[in-house]
A and B are shown apart, each in its own frame.
Chain A
Amino acid sequence: MSILKLKDLTIKFGGLIAVNAVSLHVYEKQIYSIIGPNGSGKTTIFNLITGIYTPTSGEVMIQDEVTSGHRPDYISKKGVSRTFQNIRLFKNLSVLENVLIGSHNHIKTKFIDVLLQTPRKKTIERQSVERARYLLSIFDLEQFADQRAANLPYGPQRKLEIVRALASAPKLLLLDEPAAGMNPNETEDLMQLIRRVRNEFDVTVLLVEHDMGLVMQISEYITVLDHGMKIAQGTAAEVQNNPAVIEAYLGKESA
């Protein structure tokens, strides 16, 4: 079953074509990577999928529904959640609150419940906190739960973004350079976590990453972009031996 389809997706900023007629197909529970040199349009594709940008032409389909043109909150409700390359945590809120906001759409308390302090509110609040703590524990962040998110070290901040995204119970999880700034041990750890999350929560993972070690080991399918265009796709082995890919990364002489 396909969860995400991009059809000839194109976006122009002024004269610059940031993404040029990219099509791809992501299946349920896949770990799928988009790679490419800097400025090749990877993050722009994430922004198009999540509705931050509206494509100039082409469309994004999530579970066979065209979602391009909708706002990000609508797309989030369709089961898409993401992390950001330049971390976007709710810095002055606690780690736990960050995760609770992640599960915003699943917390069904009404304003009146809070006004009257109903038992219903307490039950729901307790359940959400328990769930949030469980998610934090998977990523070994439980001890930070009551700290301000801004006080976390860099690595845990990246992980917290993933936890927050997971809290919305997504079907499709977009990770934008989750290993950036991590050391090899942390990256290895992260790779295990991504696999675990995929299996435990039945989530599809779409990854943008520069760490080739991580990408090649974890990805079941890879699309390579250069200057906004798809230049190759396939399994890790196929992509690694593709001359167009080597040329894009290393320049013409090396090819």
Chain B
Amino acid sequence: MLLLQHLFSGIVLGCTYTLFSLGLTLIYGILGIVNYAHGELYMFGAFLAFYAALILKVNYFMAVVVATIGMAVLGYIIERAAFRPLRGYDDTSIIVATIGLSIFMQNLGIMIFGPDPVRLETVTADISVNIGGLTVGLQRIIVVVVTVALIVALNLFSQKTRMGKAMRACAQDLTAAKMMGININKVTITTTIIGAALAGIGGALVAPLYLVSPVMGIKVCTKAFAVVILGGLGNVPGAIFGGFLVGIAESITAGMISSHLRDVVAFAILVVALLFKPEGLFAKHMQEKV
């Protein structure tokens, strides 16, 4: 029963990693940018939900919507102001530039919101549901349901809509997609907006569960890096699998073995996986063309 409890916590944790990593992996897959500042979108999303509830006095659902829209707008700004000038740059410049963006946004967060952690109080956080002897908080169920719904929606979007198809084409081969008349700028903006909105939703969803602070993003971000590498950069199913794998492994290790190991689990899995499959667990045979 205890194991089941940890398993469920792991799934909830996995949901946040997944929402986070999906954006990260999409942005890398299409823009070729490792967005080190993704954690700050997650953090801003959480704070936006918190302040929407506090100042605008909206209900939790509306707070999540506000956070999502806010981060979508921020995503648009970041794409235009930071990602587009970086197009075609080498990996090192891109990583350092997004690290700069992350430092900037994180400290902007500290200045605006203050360094102290807060918690978003909601009704859902206090209600517990009993499922077959397992006591689970309603908020945690909401996290899981919303995550699953978003994964399904994202899948439908990429399979059924024109923009979704264009995105998949760009992920395959940007140059070819361009020659087929796909508007690259539209695709990169849409991708960044989706990625940012997913991070924002992630932040807003965990705001009632964990502490909301300016450094919350950077912590999740480094683990999400492990997740996307594990799943293979740019690989969407890989990010989902990796997210849940890391979430569950982390939760069970922390609960059953030692909570000190909580933050190491993701990287330990990563190092072991990389030793055997350097391109991630899900990469197809990727041999550089010689």
A touches B (Cβ under 8 A): yes
B interface residues, how many (CB within 8 angstroms): 5
Whether a CB of chain A sits under 8 angstroms from the CB of B285 is yes
Q: Shortest distance in angstroms between A64's beta carbon and chain B's nearest beta carbon?
A: 26
B239-290 interface (Cβ within 8 A of A): 284-285, 287, 289-290
A86 touches B289 (CB 8 A): yes
A103-144: contact bitstring with B at CB < 8 Å (1 yes, 0 no)? 000000000000000000000000000000000000000000
Report Cα–Cα, A53/B290, bound state, in Å.
10
Contact of B285 (CB < 8 Å), options: A14, A47, A52, A84: A14
Contact of B290 (CB < 8 Å), options: A13, A14, A52: A52
A46-64 interface (Cβ within 8 A of B): 47, 52-53
Q: Shortest distance in angstroms between A163's beta carbon and chain B's nearest beta carbon?
A: 20
12 A-B pairs within 8 Å (CB atoms) are namely A13-B285, A13-B287, A14-B284, A14-B285, A43-B290, A47-B290, A52-B290, A53-B287, A84-B290, A85-B290, A86-B289, A86-B290
Report Cα–Cα, A85/B289, bound state, in Å.
10
Greatest chain A CB density within 10 A among B284, B289, B290 is at B290
A19-54 interface (Cβ within 8 A of B): 43, 47, 52-53
Residues in chain B near residue A13, CB distance under 8 A: 285, 287
- Using CB atoms, name the residue of chain B closest to A47: B290
Residues in chain B near residue A85, CB distance under 8 A: 290
Residues in chain A near residue B290, CB distance under 8 A: 43, 47, 52, 84-86
Counting contact residues on chain A (CB < 8 A from B), the size range is: under 10
Residues in chain B near residue A14, CB distance under 8 A: 284-285
Q: Shortest distance in angstroms between A145's beta carbon and chain B's nearest beta carbon?
A: 27
Q: Which 6 A-B pairs have the closest CB atoms?
A: A47-B290, A52-B290, A14-B285, A13-B285, A84-B290, A43-B290
Report Cα–Cα, A43/B289, bound state, in Å.
10
Q: Shortest distance in angstroms between B42's beta carbon and chain A's nearest beta carbon?
A: 37
Residues in chain A near residue B287, CB distance under 8 A: 13, 53
Q: Shortest distance in angstroms between A242's beta carbon and chain B's nearest beta carbon?
A: 29
Residues in chain A near residue B285, CB distance under 8 A: 13-14
Report Cα–Cα, A13/B286, bound state, in Å.
10
Report Cα–Cα, A85/B290, bound state, in Å.
8
Report Cα–Cα, A85/B284, bound state, in Å.
24
Report Cα–Cα, A53/B287, bound state, in Å.
9
Residues in chain A near residue B284, CB distance under 8 A: 14
- Using CB atoms, name the residue of chain A closest to B289: A86
Q: Shortest distance in angstroms between A56's beta carbon and chain B's nearest beta carbon?
A: 13
Instruction: Give me 9 other A-B pairs in contact (C-beta within 8 A), A13-B285, A14-B285, A47-B290 excluded.
Output: A13-B287, A14-B284, A43-B290, A52-B290, A53-B287, A84-B290, A85-B290, A86-B289, A86-B290
Q: Shortest distance in angstroms between B89's beta carbon and chain A's nearest beta carbon?
A: 15
Residues in chain B near residue A84, CB distance under 8 A: 290
- Using CB atoms, name the residue of chain B closest to A46: B290
Report Cα–Cα, A224/B284, bound state, in Å.
30
Report Cα–Cα, A157/B177, bound state, in Å.
29
Q: Shortest distance in angstroms between B141's beta carbon and chain A's nearest beta carbon?
A: 41
Q: Shortest distance in angstroms between B239's beta carbon and chain A's nearest beta carbon?
A: 23
Q: Shortest distance in angstroms between B50's beta carbon and chain A's nearest beta carbon?
A: 49
A216-243 interface (Cβ within 8 A of B): none
Report Cα–Cα, A247/B290, bound state, in Å.
28
- Using CB atoms, name the residue of chain B closest to A52: B290
Residues in chain B near residue A53, CB distance under 8 A: 287
